[in-house]
Amino acid sequence: MKISMYQASVPVFIRVLTNLATILDKAEAHAETHKIHPAVLVQARLFPNMYPLSRQVQIASDMVKGGASRLAGLAPPQYEDNEASFAELKGRIDKTITYLKTFTPEQIDGSEERKVTLSVGGQEMTFEGMPYLLHFVLPNLYFHVTTAYAILRHWGVELGKSDFRGKL
């Protein structure tokens, strides 16, 4: 059985973001139970020179909306990156999932060799579709979601692998 570019992208993106939203729900409940102002967790970092939780969520969202868009040959929508609460971060995830659900297999399948050019850190990078998905989008998505998870675990939020992985 052969896996398609669509199957390797959009459903995976939706699953990972859905799991991230569940993790944020647990973080919000943890903050309430332990009388931690939610903004403390939203702005928490693992180390001073790392992005805070809010930025980790924003980048995860950007990776998947950009990934699906570029594989389909479209320009990705731009979001403001101004989320400052759990509700706003979950709203961004919901908006991203809603956007992802607009894609059809026909738009993304066959994009294995499509040229994808983007600016990363001020440098222009060009990929073919499959390496873009497998070696750029997916690793970045998992990195930022894992970092969000680690920030929250560091603050005592009771999370396990099943929260990250989701229901099988």
Find the domain containing 23 and state its range: 10-104+128-165
Residue 2 lies in a domain: no
d(CA 50, CA 123): 21
Q: What CATH number is attached to the domain comprising 30?
A: 1.20.120.450
Residue 116 lies in a domain: no
Residue 23 burial (10 A CB sphere; 0-12, 13-18, 19+): buried
On the question of pLDDT at 112 being above 80, the answer is yes
Residue 113 lies in a domain: no
Quickly state the pLDDT bin for 54 (edges 50, 70, 90): very high
What lies within 8 Å, CB to CB, of 7 at 6+ separation is 105
CA 30 from centroid of its chain's CA atoms: 22
Q: What is the DSSP letter of 26?
A: H
Domains of the chain: total: 1
Q: What is the DSSP letter of 52?
A: P
Residue 111 lies in a domain: no
4-50 pLDDT per residue, tens = 999 999 999 999 999 999 999 999 999 999 999 999 999 999 999 99
